[in-house]
Amino acid sequence: MFSKSLTTVSRREALSRCGLGMAGLGLGMLLGDEAAANAGQPLAATPPHFAPRAKRVIHLFLNGGLSHVDTFDFKPSLTKYAGKPLPGVGPDRNDRKGNAMPSPFKFQPRGSHGLMVSELFENLGKKIDDVCVVQSMHTDAPEHGDARQLWHCGSIAQNAPSAGAWVTYGLGTENANLPAFVALCPGSGQLPEDGATGWRAGFMPPIYQGTLVDTGEMRDVEKLIRNVRNPFLKGSAHRKQMDLLYRLNQRHLAARAGDATLEGRIQSYEMAYRMQAAATDAFDLSGEPAHIQKLYGSTKPAQQLLLARRLIERGVRFVQVWPYHNQPFDNHENLTSLEPVARHCDQAISALLTDLKMRGLLDETLVVMCGEFGRMPTAEGEMEGKQRTGRNHNPHCFNVILAGGGIRPGIIHGASDEFGYEAVEKPVHVHDLQATILHLLGLDHTRLTYRHAGRDFRLTDVGGNVVHDILA
């Protein structure tokens, strides 16, 4: 069983007792000071259970539920039965109501296996031999909030930690001056539909939660992370102020021994100080050469994934990318609304794979692209006297795109039925994929546990099996 003990005697405190003060924190962490690492620092780098295939994760989350039958799971039978009820529908399958609706988008064979890929992902289609397409994903939750929470946190419990928090808890940080876990959100002060659920620490200490980066103003580091710089004090004066705050915080903490929340808050303040120089460098996209800027393009998803690449280069372990707020892939009314957002993500993810491969980073970086569930093969139907041409939620089947980090490239895993309604061949549950992601990072999902409320919890709850067929 894997566990970490959290104490109020932190690595920071240990260094202070040695006369280094807070100024020595970054140096101690970067040099891998063994004594300091054993002083109860919760973010100290921790060896994995076994040799990892991936060192880091970039997760592009398509909130709203990307339609698999309009992207990577072509179904000719929908044309055959167009406008007609799906055959074999019984009263127990009420969610299959509505008539079959073929995709309005063109498909063509791609890659060595001739996988039919939609025009919406034309660029990724050209790289289909570099990725694994899981066509048999399924989940337990038919509604957005529960499905997203199950995907991100492994449970619909309101205080469950997110996957990135579990990874940070299990492996710690590689760079003391940047967070181990970053969430890139669409910006302009707007959070995703479920707020901070995707990067929360839940019942774990808050030190493990993701750091929110508002990507509304990609060209201004001051707006990416609020108050990242002190406008009034510089250099040694700022250092003295932080040392004073540290001493005051320690007195406050000493009177509240065992308060992990307070400890986490203090550490986050100190992380913010160390980030001032590191963040300025990492978030400055202007230094990227012109051909890289052109490769990614200027859309928000493209700029986010370029930033994600810069972050993982600097030791961030887990980067979660929300390309849009609201639910742009939730296409109940009209499937044509899917086209612009899908094409933006297509160019962005294709550019990321190309960039990582050129830099020799793809083999050690796991790239994941998915939404919370799929869409029905039927038309949504009439509402308020108006015929809708979108699709309803489908928890029984959806697709996930995986690449790099120990994933077998150029394979299609599993299959849905002839209509794309249900996973029928080699089904993969959300917990199975979570177990697989942890496995690629060198973590056994059954051993990565956290004691809370009298029992040991894990990301995969009481389920999950590593999908060995998709591993290289």
Q: Looking at residue 376, what is its pLDDT?
A: 95
Position 341 confidence tier, pLDDT thresholds 50, 70, 90: very high
Average pLDDT over residues 175-185: 92
Distances (CA, A) of 72 to 56, 301, 305, 449, 460: 26, 20, 21, 35, 26
Taking alpha carbons only, the member of 395, 376, 292, 275 closest to residue 335 is 376
Of 88-97, 291-300, 420-429, the least confident: 88-97
The beta strand positions in 140-219, using DSSP E, are: 181-185, 211-214
Alpha helices (runs of H) in 283-321, residue ranges in sequence order = 290-296, 300-313
Which of these ranges, 92-96, 193-197, 264-268, 270-274, has the smallest mean pLDDT? Answer: 92-96
DSSP 264: H
Higher pLDDT, 347 or 382: 347
Per-residue pLDDT, 223:
64
Neighbours of 217 (CB within 10 A): 12
Rounded Cα distance between 38 and 364, Å, is 27
Other CB atoms within 10 Å distance of the CB of residue 106: 11
- Whether the CB-CB separation of 292 and 302 falls below 8 Å is answered with no
Largest CA distance in the chain: 78
pLDDT of residue 273: 64
d(CA 131, CA 142): 27
Asked if residue 227 has pLDDT above 50, the reply is yes
Pick from 66-70, 295-299, 384-388: least confident: 384-388
Task: List pLDDT tens digits, range 398-443.
Answer: 999 999 999 999 999 999 999 999 999 999 999 999 999 999 999 9
CB contact at 8 A, 204 and 160: no
Residue 374: closest CA among 345, 405, 398: 398
> What angle separates helix 300-313 from helix 260-282, to the nearest 10 degrees?
110
**Could you give the CA distance from residue 213 to residue 79 in angstroms, rounded to a whole number?**
44
Tell me what percent of the residues of the chain surpass a pLDDT of 70: 81
Q: What are 271's two structure tokens?
A: 């992380």
Token pair, residue 4, equals: 């970490």
What residue has token string 């060198």? 442
361-394 b/e (C-beta count within 10 Å ≥ 16 → b): bbbbbbbbbbbbbbbbbbbbeeeeeeebbbbbbb
pTM of the model: 0.85
Helices then strands, counting H and E runs in the chain, come out as 14, 19
pLDDT at 5 (0 to 100): 40
Residue with the bigger pLDDT between 406 and 225: it is 406
Tokens 């959300």 belong to residue: 430
Q: Enumerate the β-bridge partners of residue 117.
A: 108
Determine the 3-state secondary structure of 225 from DSSP.
Answer: coil
pLDDT score recorded for residue 39: 39
What's the chain's length in residues? 472
Higher pLDDT, 281 or 363: 363
pLDDT at 34: 34
pLDDT at 11: 36
Delineate the domains of the chain, giving CATH numbers in brackets.
Answer: 1-33+236-282 (no CATH), 54-225+289-470 (3.40.720.10)
Say if residues 133 and 417 touch (Cβ distance below 8 Å): no
| Tokens found for residue 471 | 């591993």
Lowest mean pLDDT among 26-30, 73-77, 232-236, 413-417: 26-30
Burial of 457 (0-12, 13-18, 19+ CB in 10 A): buried
Residue range 140-151: average pLDDT? Answer: 96
Q: Could you read off the pLDDT of 104-133 as tens digits, one per residue?
A: 999 999 999 999 999 999 999 999 999 999
Nearest to 35 by CA among 52, 51, 20: 20
Nearest to 327 by CA among 393, 408, 260, 409: 393
- 442, 52 contact by CB (below 8 A): yes
Instruction: Judge whether 75 and 420 are in contact, CB under 8 Å.
Output: yes
Residue with tokens 């370029």: 306
DSSP secondary structure of 358-395:
HTT-GGGEEEEEE-S-EE-SB--EEETTEEEBS--EES
- Report the chain's mean pLDDT, rounded to a whole number: 85
Q: Which two structure tokens, joined as six digits, stand for 285?
A: 């996209």
pLDDT band at 269 (very low <50, low <70, confident <90, very high): low
